[in-house]
């Protein structure tokens, strides 16, 4: 099945795949005979000459609106009911929120909230939580787990190296720059 056929099949599902990427949508529409006519900003238009059909949409931005400061990330939301922008720190169990009247002021409110969180933790003698430790569980079928362990053993690497390479390919489109570290004394992680 070609890339275009796969994209068309995912678009034709009922309902359409919720994780359909921009590239898949574009490929599917082009496969149906639509031609892209760029609009302003992220606005995109696709036109089918033969059917005289128009498809209008917005191309998603590459990054979500996530605020970043001192190793912390935070959300950005607009509460139309009170006319405020607000958010909270991500990836920690402590609840730290912030709000501002404008999107431009939200970054400053976020930074002030991070500073206040760090200062409050210090004053209380509490270690501030750090977002994401780089450790997570992956659930796969027992067969895939066994196949991955066997391949890691055959290649003489840790199973973590395999997962790390897969994530690098998924997120960045390339394997990590450094080569796989060698195993320690021939021992492999097999869980």
pLDDT digits (tens, 9 = 90+) for 18-56: 677 778 888 888 888 999 887 777 778 888 888 888 888
Mean pLDDT of 56-83: 83
Confidence of residue 63 (pLDDT cuts 50, 70, 90): low
Mean pLDDT, the chain, integer: 83
Distance, CA of 97 to CA of 32 (rounded, Å)? 46
Confidence of residue 72 (pLDDT cuts 50, 70, 90): very high
Mean pLDDT of 2-9: 80
Domain 3-58 carries which CATH code?
Answer: 3.30.920
pLDDT in tens, 137-188: 889 999 999 998 998 898 899 988 888 888 888 888 877 665 555 444 444 4
* For the ranges 3-12, 49-58, 91-100, the one whose mean pLDDT is highest: 91-100
Judge contact between 72 and 89, C-beta under 8 A. Answer: yes
Confidence of residue 112 (pLDDT cuts 50, 70, 90): very high
> How open is the CA angle 8-11-17, to the nearest 5 degrees?
135
For CATH 3.30.920, the residue range(s) in the chain are 3-58
Q: Which residues of 19-57 are buried (b: 16+ CB within 10 A; e: fewer)?
A: eeeeebbbbbbeebebeeeeeeeeebebbeeeeeeeeee
Task: Work out the percent of the chain whose per-residue pLDDT is above 70.
Answer: 87
Mean pLDDT of 90-119: 94
Distance, CA of 160 to CA of 134 (rounded, Å)? 11
Residue 28's contacts (CB-CB under 8 Å, 6 or more residues apart) are 4, 7, 8, 10, 11
């Amino acid at each position: 099945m070609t890339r275009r056929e796969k994209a068309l099949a995912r678009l034709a599902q009922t309902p359409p795949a919720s994780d359909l990427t921009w590239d898949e949508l574009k490929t599917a529409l082009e496969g149906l005979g639509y031609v892209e006519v760029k609009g302003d900003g992220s606005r995109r238009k696709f036109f089918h000459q033969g059917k005289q059909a128009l498809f209008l949409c917005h191309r998603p931005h590459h990054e979500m609106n996530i605020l970043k400061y001192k190793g912390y990330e935070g959300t950005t939301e607009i509460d139309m009911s009170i006319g405020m922008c607000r958010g909270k720190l991500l990836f920690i169990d402590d609840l730290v929120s912030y709000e501002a009247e404008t999107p431009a002021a939200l970054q400053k409110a976020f930074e002030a909230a991070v500073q206040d969180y760090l200062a409050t933790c210090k004053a209380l003698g509490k270690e501030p939580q750090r977002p994401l430790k780089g450790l997570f569980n992956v659930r796969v079928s027992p067969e895939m787990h066994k196949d991955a362990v066997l391949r890691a053993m055959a290649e003489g690497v840790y199973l973590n190296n395999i997962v790390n390479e897969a994530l690098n390919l998924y997120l960045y489109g390339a394997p990590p720059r450094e080569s796989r570290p060698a195993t320690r004394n021939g021992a492999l992680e097999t869980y």
